[in-house]
Structure formats: C-alpha cells, structure tokens
Amino acid sequence: MSTIESLAAKLADDTMAAMEETGNDRLFMEVAGVIGTSSQTLEEAYLSEIRVRQAERTARRFLETRLAQSRTKAGQ
C-alpha cells in the first residue's frame, strides 16, 4: 500500500468515526475540501476510501435487516 493510500484509509476511518459521533454525514466533504487545497491526489484517494466505507456500511445494514426479518419469520 502506498503512502497516499494508507494516509487516505486512516483519514477515512477517522472521518467515518467522527461522522458517527457528531451525526454530521457530510463531514467528509469538509475534510475533502481541506485536503484538496494541498493535494488533489490525496483528496481523490480519500474520497474513494470514503465511498467504499459508505457502500459497505449500507450493504451491511441491508444484510442485517434481511437477516432479522428472516429470523423473525422463522421464529413464528
């Protein structure tokens, strides 16, 4: 993993945690703006990392909901 990729991944992890804590689901855009003033390359890598994490979170919630529904039906 390159330096840019590892920095982007760590920052994305920290941002996702901050978004969860603050309830600000657009915080990542503010962070991207700060990054973009210095490094477009890091900004692009960071936004890719954020998108991947958001997609995984959405898919995981969907899966959890489906499993809960299935378990409820099975228990009836």
d(CA 11, CA 8): 5
pLDDT of residue 1: 86
> How far is residue 35 from each of residues 8, 55, 75, measured CA to CA in Å?
10, 22, 50
> Torsion over CA of 54, 36, 1 and 61, rounded to 10 degrees?
0
Mind listing the pLDDT tens digit of every residue in the chain (76 residues)? Answer: 899 999 999 999 999 999 999 999 999 999 999 999 999 999 999 999 999 999 999 999 999 999 999 999 888 7
